[in-house]
Structure 1
Amino acid sequence: MAGGAISGGIRRTRFAPSPTGPLHLGHAFAALTAARLADPGQFLLRIEDIDRSRCRPEWEQAIHDDLHWLGLSWPQPVMRQSERLPAYAAALERLAAMGLLYPCRCRRADISAALSAPQEGAPGPDGPVYPGTCRGRAMEDAGAGDAIRLDVARGFALLGLDRIGFLDEAVQPGQRHELTAADFIAGIGDVVLARRGMGTSYHLSVVVDDAAQGITLVTRGKDLFDSTYIHALLQALLELPQPLYHHHRLIRDDSGKRLAKRDDARAIAQYRAQGVLAADIIAMVFGGG
C-alpha cells in the first residue's frame, strides 16, 4: 500500500501508540474515536516503536490485548516503525538533496544557554525554538552523534509559500488553519527530523507512514494540534497527500491533568483485572455512549 492517499472518499484512520507503557483511558478514547470515524474495515493499528531504548515487547502485546478487549479489530499485518527505517532514510535523502537539512551537534544544555535571553526560546510543538547555532553546517560533516534538522526558512522559500495550513473537521470545521512562514520560523523553528541513535523522528515518521498507509483522516489529541503545521510543511516538501485532521478532546484526571502512561490506576489492564466490562470503559470515556 505504498504512496498516495486512497481515492473514492474512503475514510481510513489509524491508532498509532508507542509500546512504552500501559494503555490508559486516554488511549481507549483515542483508539475508539479513530475506529468510530473510519469506514468499515478502514481502521488501522500502527506501532510507533522508533525509540528502541524505551519500547518493550510486552507492552506491544498489551496494546493488542487491550484493543481486542475493547472490541476493536484491524487488518494484518500491522505496520511497525522499527521496520521502516529505509523509508525514513529515503525521505531524509530527498530533503538533503534539496538542500534543506543540516546536522546539529547541540545538546539541550547548549540550546538552553543560547536561549538565555528572555525574549527567545518560547516552547513550541518541538520544544524550545532552536536558535540556529548549527545551521551553517553541511550534511557532509554529519557525525554519528548529530541530530538532523530541517532548515524551515529554506523550505518555505523553496515552496514559494508564505504560509502553510490544514483542515480539521473537529476544530472549526470548514476553516483552513494556517500559520505564516514568519510565525512558523519564530514559534516552531528548525525541527529535528532525525534524532540521535534513531534515524528518524516522530514528525518525519508519522508523515511518511500516513502517506504509505493511505490515511485520509488523522485522529489524535488536541495537544498535537500545533505539530500538524510541521506535518503540513513536510507533506508539501515531500509531495505527499495531505489528509483531513480530527483533533479530539483529551481525557483528564480529576484535577484536570492529561493522563499519561505513568497513571497506572487509569490503565486499561487495571480495569480489566478489576472486572470492569469493555462497555463500561466505552461509556466512561464517551460520557455514556
Structure 2
Amino acid sequence: MARAALGALDAWPMHHFYHQLSRSSESPACVLLTTGAMNPPHRGHAQLLHQARERLEEAGYQVWAAWMSPSHDGYVGPKAKSKRTLHLSSKLRLHLAQLMVFEDPFVAVGHWEASVKGRWPDFPEVAEELQRTLKQLVDEQLEAVPALVKLLGESGWPRVFYACGTDHAERCGLYDGFGRFREQIGVVVVPRESELPEPERIPEVFVARPAPGEICSFSSTKIRESFHVAGIDEHAYLCNAICEAAADVMLRPSREQCLGRWLEFQSDFEKLRLSEPSCAP
C-alpha cells in the first residue's frame, strides 16, 4: 500500500500537543480529528473542533490537541467535477487552513491525508494513521515524558475522537460508534443551530452544543458561490469566513506572494481568474 513521503511530525504537527501536555492534569487525555473536503476551509471547520473539545472536557477529559485534515485531491477533484463546482488543490487548501489557524492555540492542520501518493484514504484510515502516529510517539517517549500515559485508553492505544457534523454522522452510522471502522476511536457529533441531532446512547459517542452565532452559518459551498458575483464584496466576505491572509491569497495576492507561490498555485489562480501580471505591486 502506497504511503506518504511526509514524516509523522510533518504530517501531524505536534506543537499544540506538547504545549497542552506540559500543562496536563490528572484527568484522562485525548485528541481530536476532523476531516473533509474543506474546499475551501473556513472558520466553522476549526470551531467544530472547539465545540467538540468543550463537550469532552465536560465529560472529564483533557484534550491536548486537534487536527483539521483537508481531503485528498483524488476525492475532492471528482466530487467537485460531478457537482460542476470549483476544485481548489490540496496544496492551496492546506495553505489556507494553516493561515486560518495560525493563531489558534489548539487546532493544527494535518497533512497526511492530502499527501498520500496514488490513492485517497477515507476518514477511518486517517483516524487510524493519527492514532498509530501517537502510539509510536508514546512508545518512544513515555520513559522521558511519563505524562503521556494519560493519553492511553484501556486498550493501550491513544484516545482519538473523530469530530463531524450530523450529516456525516448519519450517513456513516457514527451515532453507533466508530467501531465498525476501527476500535478504540470515539466520536463527537457537532450539530448546527438549526439541526436536531440524535441523542447520546453509547459511552464513546458524544453530542456537542452547536457553535453560536454567525460562525455556524459558514459553508464551503457558500464561499465558492460568492466568487465573481455582482454585489458581493468577496474580500470582506472571505476575511470574515476564513481570514484576511487567506482572502489576500485567493483574491489579490501581493507580488511577493505571486513570485513565491505562482507555480505552486498556478492552476488555482487560473480557476480564481487571477493572472500573474495582475498581482498587486
Question: Shorter-chain TM-score: what band?
Answer: 0.3 to 0.5
Higher relative contact order (CA 8 A, sep 6+): 1
Give the TM-score, by structure 2 length: 0.40
Question: Which has more helix, going by share of residues?
Answer: 2
